[in-house]
Amino acid sequence: MEMDVHDELLAAVLFIVFTMFTLWVFRKLWAVRKRKTINDTSSKSGHYWSPIEQNEQQHNYCSGCKQHVVSGYECDNCLLKVDNINCLRAISTKIHCKVNQTLCRKETFDHHWICGNIGADLFCEVCEELCGGGVGLQDFRCSWCWRVVHTKCKPKFTLSCDFGRLQRTIIPPYCVTTRKPGNRNQRMMLIKSPFQAVIDKIEIPTDIEKWRPIMVIVNPKSGSGAGKQLLRNFRAHLHPAQVVDVLKSNISASLRWIDEHPEVDVRILIAGGDGTICSALDQIDTLSRRIPVAVLPLGTGNDLSRWLKWGKKCGGDIDVIKLMEDIQEAEVTLVDRWTIDAESQKKLGVRLQSNKTLSMTNYVSVGVDACVTLGMQNTRESIPRAMSSRLLNKFLFFTFGTKDVFERVCKGLNERIDLYLDDVHINLPDIEGLIFLNIPYWGAGVKPWATYNASHRQECDDETIEVFAVTSSFHIAQMQIGLASPLCIGQAKHAKLVFKGNHSFPMQSDGEAWVNSAGTVLISHKCKTAMLRKAEKQSTGCGMFF
Ligand SMILES: [Zn+2]
Ligand SMILES: [Zn+2]
Ligand SMILES: [Zn+2]
Ligand SMILES: [Zn+2]
């Protein structure tokens, strides 16, 4: 009898779980469909609407009916807010988005004023008193230069729009024509879908001194929601065609104009984790000139941005204006990039695994540290929601770091591989992990080479790679809190790893892990990329936490 009760309970629980899952899927599909429909109906106005909820720090009011917004929509580009679909349709016919000014001539280019919903700590350009805040839809903010004025002061404000502190960085809407990516014949004077338009033609604005636009590449999936917020933050401050969403647009199509307009000086910012940065750099390397790149850290790792002084982790609400000024003032530094060729062994004329070629900026490693990442990556793939929780990530990292099962395969690594540095065979001590390092930082803030003697200095543009080893995952943990140093193996212009016998070993490069079956791995210099290092005197532009 008891068994039956259990079975019934189990059936009931399964039914409830299944129903909730189905409802959840339908809700998601419905939200996607709804968003698509509203952005189709309002496409002529240029707005790109995203759903919003009530904001606890600031009360928002609908631009249509002036009511308090509990939930509704906000335009990513001009931050216009509405509380329902009727107000959205009505307002779209009355107020155009900031990107929809392509027909404006620069002689008559005016501020793009949006009424209300202004932060409470801003000062009026005319009377210099506090502006914004308060109850109801009042006061104005320009969605290009971000200046604010009181409703009563607005008629007295006669200065035309010069894009304010973002003047050097913004691509003025009167200087650019955009088109749909892919089809070149389908030119559009009015941007129909700003979120996927790419730059077609650009003219250098004659009225702006030292003009140097910044293209921004963002992965909205990086950094547990911070990426999404950051993407909207950039769209609100820049011309939306300057902002590339890696999930919705093709990076090389979005950057193609750079090769077609060699007269335009340009800089690039990549916001994302190590993987996003690596694949975006691969696209940037194919451009015919060297464009300096800054990186903004989202996700885990972030040793590259640590070294280049952009911080170790940043949120989505950073001060975009300050960040853009920092990028304009940053120094250019050359960084080597490397090619990893993993060649699988042939057995009876058949390859055990397909060959793998990838580029590397930070490091490539074999053994115990890759074990930790690989264990985490496999678990992540089985529970995709784990990706969105930073805490769970930390927990997984910690758990897998101490698990014997992942470590056992790395025991006696030195006996199962042959290492050649510049064609010289190296005798390895008893180790469990071998790391080839390009930049000074590794493993979330460790500086492995700093402890080594001065005659073997680490430079990042000398086409030389630093090789060090670790004896266990415990050794890595000790290094992270400064209690141990790595075993320095040597430096090389090129390196070769030969896997002996039939052993497979976990490997990783810039946070991406894989299992390498027997064969050889070649590490050779690929190119030099221009990166931007934040100037020392400035304070940190990133909200740092953790
Ligand atoms: Zn808009
Ligand atoms: Zn309304
Ligand atoms: Zn303005
Ligand atoms: Zn005023």
Residues near ligand 3 ion, CB 5 Å cutoff: 111, 142, 144-145, 161
C-alpha 257 to ligand 3 mean position (Å): 26
C-alpha 437 to ligand 1 mean position (Å): 45
C-alpha 114 to ligand 4 mean position (Å): 15
Q: Is 516 helix (H, G, I), strand (E, B) or coil?
A: strand
C-alpha 131 to ligand 4 mean position (Å): 7
Q: Which two tokens stand for residue 365?
A: 């490693």
Residue 109 has φ and ψ, to the nearest 5°, of: -65, 125
C-alpha 196 to ligand 1 mean position (Å): 15
Ligand closest to the CA atom of residue 75: 1
Ligand closest to the CA atom of residue 129: 4
Residue 190: per-residue pLDDT:
37
Domain 42-161 annotated CATH 3.30.60.20: yes
C-alpha 75 to ligand 2 mean position (Å): 14
What are the beta bridge partners of residue 434?
Answer: 366, 469
Question: Across 276-400, where does the E strand assignment appear?
Answer: 293-297, 331-344, 346-347, 350-351, 356-360, 363-367
C-alpha 194 to ligand 2 mean position (Å): 24
CB-CB contact of 61 with 137 (8 Å): yes
ipTM for the assembly: 0.94
Ligand closest to the CA atom of residue 72: 2
Residue 294: per-residue pLDDT:
93
| Cβ atoms within 10 Å of 244's Cβ, excluding its own | 26
C-alpha 130 to ligand 4 mean position (Å): 8
Distance CA 194, CA 364 (A): 38
Query: pLDDT tens digits, the chain, 546 residues: what are they?
Result: 555 778 888 888 899 999 898 888 888 877 766 666 666 555 677 788 888 877 666 788 888 888 888 888 888 888 888 888 888 888 888 888 888 655 556 666 788 898 888 877 888 888 988 887 777 888 899 999 999 999 888 898 888 888 889 989 998 888 888 777 654 444 433 333 444 678 888 888 888 888 999 999 999 888 777 888 899 899 999 988 899 988 888 888 888 888 888 988 999 999 988 888 888 999 998 889 899 999 998 876 688 888 888 887 777 788 899 999 999 999 999 999 999 988 876 666 666 567 788 889 989 988 887 776 666 555 544 544 444 455 555 555 555 554 555 556 677 788 888 889 888 888 888 888 899 999 888 877 788 787 666 667 777 888 888 888 888 777 877 777 777 788 888 888 899 988 887 777 788 888 777 777 768 889 999 888 999 998 876 454 454 443
C-alpha 231 to ligand 1 mean position (Å): 15
Ligand closest to the CA atom of residue 98: 1
C-alpha 236 to ligand 1 mean position (Å): 9
Distance CA 100, CA 45 (A): 7
Residue 212: per-residue pLDDT:
92
| Helix 368-382 × helix 390-401 angle, to 10° | 130
C-alpha 298 to ligand 2 mean position (Å): 35
C-alpha 145 to ligand 4 mean position (Å): 17
C-alpha 96 to ligand 1 mean position (Å): 7
C-alpha 155 to ligand 4 mean position (Å): 10
Q: Is 356 helix (H, G, I), strand (E, B) or coil?
A: strand
Ligand closest to the CA atom of residue 67: 2
C-alpha 132 to ligand 4 mean position (Å): 10
CB-CB contact of 230 with 217 (8 Å): no
C-alpha 118 to ligand 2 mean position (Å): 17
Nearby residues of 444 by Cβ (< 8 Å), 6 or more positions away: 300, 301, 302, 303, 312, 480
C-alpha 133 to ligand 3 mean position (Å): 20
- Dmax (CA) of the chain: 87
Ligand closest to the CA atom of residue 47: 1
Domain positions in the chain: 42-161, 167-329, 337-527
Please name the helix (run of DSSP H) or strand (run of DSSP E) that holds residue 29, with its range, or none.
helix 2-41
Ligand closest to the CA atom of residue 173: 3
C-alpha 278 to ligand 1 mean position (Å): 32
Q: Is 190 exposed, middle or buried (0-12, 13-18, 19+ CB in 10 A)?
A: middle
Ligand closest to the CA atom of residue 144: 3
Nearby residues of 467 by Cβ (< 8 Å), 6 or more positions away: 419, 421, 434, 435, 436, 437, 488, 489, 490, 491, 492, 495
Distance CA 526, CA 151 (A): 58
Q: Is 347 exposed, middle or buried (0-12, 13-18, 19+ CB in 10 A)?
A: exposed
C-alpha 289 to ligand 4 mean position (Å): 47
Q: Which two tokens stand for residue 269?
A: 């910012």
C-alpha 118 to ligand 3 mean position (Å): 14
Ligand closest to the CA atom of residue 44: 1
C-alpha 296 to ligand 3 mean position (Å): 27
Q: Is 110 exposed, middle or buried (0-12, 13-18, 19+ CB in 10 A)?
A: exposed
Residue 394 has φ and ψ, to the nearest 5°, of: -65, -45
4: number of CA atoms within 13 Å, CB side?
1
For 349-389, the pLDDT digits (tens) are 666 567 788 889 989 988 887 776 666 555 544 544 444 45
C-alpha 97 to ligand 1 mean position (Å): 4
Q: Which two tokens stand for residue 81?
A: 């807010």
Ligand closest to the CA atom of residue 128: 4
Residue 484: per-residue pLDDT:
78
Distance CA 435, CA 423 (A): 18
Residue 295: per-residue pLDDT:
92
Ligand closest to the CA atom of residue 87: 2
Ligand closest to the CA atom of residue 84: 2
C-alpha 214 to ligand 2 mean position (Å): 35
C-alpha 60 to ligand 2 mean position (Å): 11
| Cβ atoms within 10 Å of 135's Cβ, excluding its own | 8
| Cβ atoms within 10 Å of 332's Cβ, excluding its own | 12
C-alpha 80 to ligand 2 mean position (Å): 11
Residue 39: per-residue pLDDT:
66
What are the beta bridge partners of residue 179?
Answer: 187, 198
Q: Is 48 helix (H, G, I), strand (E, B) or coil?
A: coil
Distance CA 87, CA 71 (A): 13
Distance of CA 180 to the CA centre of its chain: 23
Nearby residues of 432 by Cβ (< 8 Å), 6 or more positions away: 367, 368, 407, 410, 411, 413, 470, 471, 472, 473, 475
Alpha-carbon radius of gyration of the chain: 27
Among candidate residues 52, 49, 25, the one with its CA nearest the CA of residue 37: 49
C-alpha 143 to ligand 1 mean position (Å): 9
Residue 304: per-residue pLDDT:
87
What are the beta bridge partners of residue 339?
Answer: 359, 524
Q: Do the first three CATH levels of 42-161 and 167-329 match, i.e. the same topology?
A: no
| Helix 473-480 × helix 368-382 angle, to 10° | 90
CB-CB contact of 454 with 420 (8 Å): no
The CATH number, out of the four listed (2.30.30.830, 3.30.2310.20, 2.60.200.40, 3.40.50.2000), of the domain defined by the range 337-527: 2.60.200.40
Residue 463 to residues 24, 285, 525, Cα–Cα distance (Å): 52, 16, 6
Tally of helices (H runs) and strands (E runs) in the chain = 12, 29
Please name the helix (run of DSSP H) or strand (run of DSSP E) that holds residue 277, with its range, or none.
helix 274-285
Nearby residues of 227 by Cβ (< 8 Å), 6 or more positions away: 218, 219, 220, 221, 271, 272, 298, 316
Ligand closest to the CA atom of residue 109: 3
Domain 167-329 annotated CATH 3.40.50: yes
C-alpha 239 to ligand 3 mean position (Å): 13
